[in-house]
Amino acid sequence: MKYFILFFFLLAENYVFAQNANKIHQEAIVIDTHGDILYNQIMSGTDIGKLQSTGNFDLMRAKRGGLDVQFFSVWCDETGDYAIANRQIDSLYSLIKRYPDRIKLVRTATDLEKAVHDKMLAAMIGVEGGHMINNRLDYVDSLAKRGMAYLTLTWNNSTSWSSSAAEEKSGKVKPENAGLNDFGKQVVMRLNKLGVLVDLSHVGEKTFFDALAVTKKPVIASHSCVYALNPVPRNLTDNQIKAIGKNGGVISLNFYSGFLDSTYKSKQKAFLTKYDAELKTLSSKFGRSIAIDTLIAKHKKEADEIRPPISLLVKHINHIVKLIGINHVGLGADFDGAESFPLGMNSVADYPKITKALLQNGYSEADIKKILGENVIRLIRENKGS
C-alpha cells in the first residue's frame, strides 16, 4: 500500500511540475534570435506557412512551441552579396503577405510586444555576414530600412574590414591584419546610429574586442556557446563572455550539437565513416549537406545516439549565468542551419522542453522568462530606444 501511495504522490508531483512549466512557458515571451529559415525557403520553394515534415521551422510548429518572436537569418556563403540578402528579405515579406493574420514584421520592442499581445508571430531580421553589405555604408542604411535588426559582422569568411573566428584561428588571416579596420569601425558606428544590434557571433577575437571598443550600445552574440565547455573557434571564451556582460549585451545559446558537445565531432565522424558509401552516392546527387540530413533521417536511431542531452545546453547557460548573471542570456537555436541538435529538440515545437529543463535546474519563474525573451527585449529597447 505504501508503495502505491508513494507512486501516486510522485505522479501528482510530476503533474504539478509539468503544469507549472507549461504556465511559465505560455506567459513568457519566447524569442529565438537565429534561424536559417529564409535560405532554405528560397532554395526549395517550401511554404513554411504550412506544416512541414522536414526542416525545423514552420508557422504551425512555431505556434505549437509557444514561439513568439523569430529572428529570420539572412544568410549566404562567401560568394553571396547584397542582392541575395534582398532576395531573402523579399521571401520573408512574401510569407507575411500570404499570412497577414499569423506573422508580422516588427522593428521595435514596443511593436514586438504588441504583435505578441495580438497573438501574431513577430518576425525580425538578422543579416548574417558583413560581406552582404558589399563594403558600402549606404547598403547598411538600406538593409536597416528593410527591417535588419542585427548585422553579424562576419560569417565564417572574413571581409576586407573584419576578420572571422574561423579565419583568425586557422591562420588564414595574419595577426597584424586581424580585427576591424577604419571602415569596419564606421560600420559599427553606423549600426549604433541606426539602432541595429551589433552581432558578434562568428567574429574573430580581435574583431570582437575592436567592436566592443567602438560600440556605444550593448551587443548581441546571436547564436554562440561556451569555449570552456567545448573549445571550438565559434564558441566564446570566458574573457569574451565577461566583456559582453560588462557591455550589457546578451549571449543567445546555439543549439547545434557540434558547439555544445566536445565529443560530438568524433562521434559524427564515426557515423559518417560507417555510411561512407551511401554518403558519397547521396552527395553526388544532392550535395553534402542534404546527403548528411538524408543519412540522419534514414539511420535515425544511430544518429540520435550521438546527440547530446538538453541538460548540456543548460550547462552552457549555467556557465554564462555564473560568470555574468542572468540578465545576459538568451536563445538562438540555429534551427535549419545545422544537422544535429540536442535529443528531443527537433524543431521550434520543442521549445517548452527548454522551459521544463530550466525549471528542473532550479531557475525561478522570473529568471526563466528573462532567458526565454525578456533579456533580448531589453537589448532591442536599449538599441532602438523604443
52 and 177 together in one domain: yes
Question: Per-residue pLDDT averaged across 22-37, rounded?
Answer: 97
How sure is the predictor about 386, in pLDDT bands with cuts at 50, 70 and 90?
confident
58 occurs within a structural domain: yes
CATH code of the domain containing 376: 3.20.20.140
CA-to-CA dists, residue 239 to 2, 199, 226, 228, 316, angstroms: 53, 17, 11, 10, 15
Question: Per-residue pLDDT averaged across 329-356, rounded?
Answer: 97
88 occurs within a structural domain: yes
Per-residue model confidence as pLDDT tens digits over 223-247: 999 999 999 999 999 999 999 999 9
Say which DSSP state 68 is in: -
CA-to-CA dists, residue 180 to 97, 173, 184, 207, angstroms: 38, 12, 5, 5
Over 80: is that where the pLDDT of 11 sits?
A: no
Question: Per-residue pLDDT averaged across 94-121, rounded?
Answer: 97
User: What nine digits make up the cell of 219?
Assistant: 551587443
Which is more confident, 219 or 15? 219
147 and 193 together in one domain: yes
How sure is the predictor about 385, in pLDDT bands with cuts at 50, 70 and 90?
confident
User: What nine digits make up the cell of 147?
Assistant: 527591417
38 occurs within a structural domain: yes
188 and 300 together in one domain: no
Over 50: is that where the pLDDT of 47 sits?
A: yes
Buried b (16+ CB within 10 A) or exposed e, 10-46: eeeeeeeeeeebeebbeebbbbbbbbbbbbbbbeeeb
Burial class (CB in 10 A: 0-12, 13-18, 19+), 229: middle
pLDDT at residue 289, as a whole number = 84
379 and 329 together in one domain: yes
43 and 163 together in one domain: yes
Nearest CA to 32 out of 260, 335, 378 is that of 335
The amino acid at residue 153 is L
Per-residue model confidence as pLDDT tens digits over 152-203: 999 999 999 999 999 999 999 999 999 999 999 999 999 999 999 999 999 9
296 and 314 together in one domain: no
pLDDT at residue 9, as a whole number = 46
Per-residue model confidence as pLDDT tens digits over 335-344: 999 999 999 9
User: What nine digits make up the cell of 216?
Assistant: 556605444
Question: Per-residue pLDDT averaged across 75-89, rounded?
Answer: 96
The chain-wide mean pLDDT, for the chain, equals 95
Per-residue model confidence as pLDDT tens digits over 256-301: 999 999 999 999 999 999 999 999 999 998 888 888 989 999 999 9
d(CA 327, CA 197): 17
Over 90: is that where the pLDDT of 382 sits?
A: yes
pLDDT at residue 19, as a whole number = 83
134 and 276 together in one domain: no
Burial class (CB in 10 A: 0-12, 13-18, 19+), 74: buried
Give me the domain span that covers residue 297. 269-307
Nearest CA to 219 out of 324, 143, 319, 342 is that of 324
Burial class (CB in 10 A: 0-12, 13-18, 19+), 379: buried
Number of domains in the chain: 2
249 and 186 together in one domain: yes
